[in-house]
Amino acid sequence: MSNIVDPLVGQIAARVRTERDRRRWTLAQLAEASGVSRAMINRIERGESSPTAVILGKLSAAFQLSVSSLLALAEGTEGAEGADEAAGDSARDAASPSGGVRRQADAAEWTDPATGYRRRQVTGPRFPAEVAEIRLPPGARVPYPAAAFAFLRQVVWVLDGHLTFHEGDTVHELDAGDTIELGDPSPRVFANTSGAECRYAVILARGEQP
């Protein structure tokens, strides 16, 4: 896809820049930590390029955030940690005044420009776990580095279709209704080798930092 139409592009740009500034990292330092080139990071921060799911995974790993957290922060539905905590509380209160019903129409959906993978945040910012709904098109393959899961406990629940899930060197074939609870961090790949869309949920809970 050559034309950037995702409304989250500008918000992701601002969030990546904010997370880098919070750590007082240069572009070169973030590039070294993430494995993403300086030129690409610069284009993302300027809103000139929409990051792919793979790049978001690498940037999230460098920031020690989950992809869900990075996207939620970009959407303005969750406050940042540390230096942004006080401002984040205000943002959370404004974004979720009732703390209850969240309408599907109000939830921003992020689309990977490389694969068409679509991700929607299900839970609100005050819920103690992160739940996201993913729609993976036929033939799509999305890898994430082990570092993206360093502080997380994760469950994958297939809702519709078939998911080929790589956990390190182990491959799991999952059908609708199947779940997998993941252990220690390892490189992970979400792949749809079927001819129909796969829809699954990812449930994340932050564990103890090593």
d(CA 57, CA 40): 14
| Crossing angle for the helix pair 9-22 and 53-63, to the nearest 10 degrees | 20
Question: pTM of the entire structure?
Answer: 0.76
- Residue range(s) defining the domain that contains residue 49: 9-95
Is residue 56 one of the residues assigned to a domain?
A: yes
d(CA 62, CA 165): 23
For 100-128, what is each residue's pLDDT tens digit? 777 777 777 889 999 999 998 888 667 78
Same domain, 112 and 67: no
Which of 47, 62, 95 terminates a domain? The answer is 95
Same domain, 72 and 110: no
Same domain, 165 and 195: yes
User: Is there a contact between 153 and 207 (Cβ–Cβ < 8 Å)?
Assistant: yes
d(CA 175, CA 114): 24
pLDDT of residue 8: 75
For 56-103, what is each residue's pLDDT tens digit? 989 988 998 878 778 777 766 444 443 344 333 333 333 444 457 777
Which of 95, 116, 140 terminates a domain? The answer is 95
d(CA 16, CA 71): 10
Same domain, 91 and 109: no
Same domain, 84 and 119: no
User: Is there a contact between 132 and 122 (Cβ–Cβ < 8 Å)?
Assistant: yes
Q: Confidence class of residue 133 from pLDDT cuts 50, 70 and 90? A: very high
Q: What CATH number is associated with residue 143? A: 2.60.120.10
